[in-house]
Structure 1
């Protein structure tokens, strides 16, 4: 049995929100932590990139805020999702929140790219009811160009989650000209189909809702001229996953 310890860890957060249907099951309290090691070209939240821009807070303060909405989110079959930014850039803080939520009987979700998956201890993952794992691309070269990072750590994290039996929802952002290559999608579908812990794949059409944030920050939006995917393309990619027995939405 894993020993539980109280943590007084502090961290930096960007904001929090309530959402339904996109950040795990039910209505959820979604905490956006600050800081991310990747620079995804389609990122909708460039204002979360730098930890220094976040508000310093404690696990206790976050839990006090969550407690205000406990009745609402539990009645709606939801819970708490820690996202970002990249939550595993602040593993002690993220782990403290997940542990306290778990102790409070709240469903917990961790939304991560998996790039820093090695920072997630087994204890942190034991306090996580669901991992929302963002796999940006299954093509090594495309992944590097799209994110500035490496694909291997994410795939390693995915297999580790499977070994530990942690439920996973894969998130795959569909960007025309970047992540729609049939061969790459097929490779990811084959990989995911071998992981018993994966419950579903959410194919998320690329959007430009974050464009105004780039303008406000004085940063060029790299994919400003990239079209959003047509419904037919989105359905083709979902069908590729389904062909391997994977639930895709």
Structure 2
């Protein structure tokens, strides 16, 4: 509901690129990566193209380029597992909501456990992961939900940090341009005090909490 790039939701259309062209573009940019940079694939949902990402990331690793997936964790099939197990240095996992009712409200889809299952698979691999969580007052930013999020992941060893993303309305004009109804018009942005409280709660569960 709060997607600020709704034009990426439709899986049809878009621009096609040759994988090797993307690899060569990344190679040319290596001098700008510094010690911590690399290539991030996001979306939409990148794991819908897991077979292509497998080829892409394999080539990137041959060029010693750091790889990162930004995903909502809804897809966990064999190609996805191959990408995660063999060629993905970092996963940034977007947790939409911690309850089934809230997850369906925000995404229109069932099964909030999908992202939790994805996180468990990554945890079992022993490889690095960040969590991302959008803070919407009274929808996702409520103390009981933040504590539930912390309890869900408090024993995970692979989570380096959680990134909190304050809700904003910067993408509404894109919804309007697409002729779609933006259903969170009544939602408000967080106050500084609410952001500080959310960070304080989650800091009791995670090594690092960052507000983007």
Structure 2 length as normaliser, TM-score? 0.92
Deviation at 1:141, TM superposition (A): 0.6
Q: Contact conserved, 1:80 with 1:106, CA < 8 A, in 2?
A: yes
In structure 2, distance between residues paired with 1:120 and 1:113: 16
- Which residue pairs with 1:51 in the alignment? 11
- Number of equivalenced pairs: 208
* Residue 110 in structure 1 maps to residue 55 in structure 2: no
* Residue 230 in structure 1 maps to residue 200 in structure 2: no
Q: List per-residue Cα deviations over 1:66-89 (Å, max 9, x = no partner).
A: 22312222x363110000000011
Give the SS at the match of 2:77.
helix
Unaligned runs of 5+ residues in structure 1 are 1-40
Deviation at 1:128, TM superposition (A): 0.6
Unaligned runs of 5+ residues in structure 2 are none
Distance 1:121 1:89, change over 3 A: closer
Residue among 144, 153, 175 paired with 1:214: 175
Deviation at 1:105, TM superposition (A): 0.7
Q: Contact conserved, 1:88 with 1:119, CA < 8 A, in 2?
A: no
Q: 1:1-249 alignment to 2 at 5 Å?
A: 41-73=1-33, 75=34, 77-118=36-77, 120-125=79-84, 126-149=86-109, 150-249=111-210
Q: Contact conserved, 2:90 with 2:128, CA < 8 A, in 1?
A: yes
Q: List per-residue Cα deviations over 1:103-127 (Å, max 9, x = no partner).
A: 1111111000001133554331121
In structure 2, distance between residues paired with 1:119 and 1:215: 38
Structure 1 residues 44-53 or 196-205, which shifts more? 44-53
Q: Contact conserved, 2:47 with 2:80, CA < 8 A, in 1?
A: no
Deviation at 1:231, TM superposition (A): 1.4
Q: Tell me which protein shows more strand as a share of its residues.
A: 1
Deviation at 1:177, TM superposition (A): 2.0
RMSD across aligned C-alpha pairs, in angstroms? Answer: 1.5
In structure 2, distance between residues paired with 1:136 and 1:225: 19
Deviation at 1:148, TM superposition (A): 1.6
In structure 2, distance between residues paired with 1:122 and 1:91: 9
Q: Contact conserved, 1:91 with 1:119, CA < 8 A, in 2?
A: no
Deviation at 1:245, TM superposition (A): 4.4
Q: Contact conserved, 1:48 with 1:84, CA < 8 A, in 2?
A: yes
Moved over 3 A (4+): 118-122
In structure 1, distance between residues paired with 2:79 and 2:98: 22
Deviation at 1:183, TM superposition (A): 1.4
Structure 1 length as normaliser, TM-score? 0.79
Which structure is higher in RCO with an 8 Å CA cutoff and minimum separation 6? 2
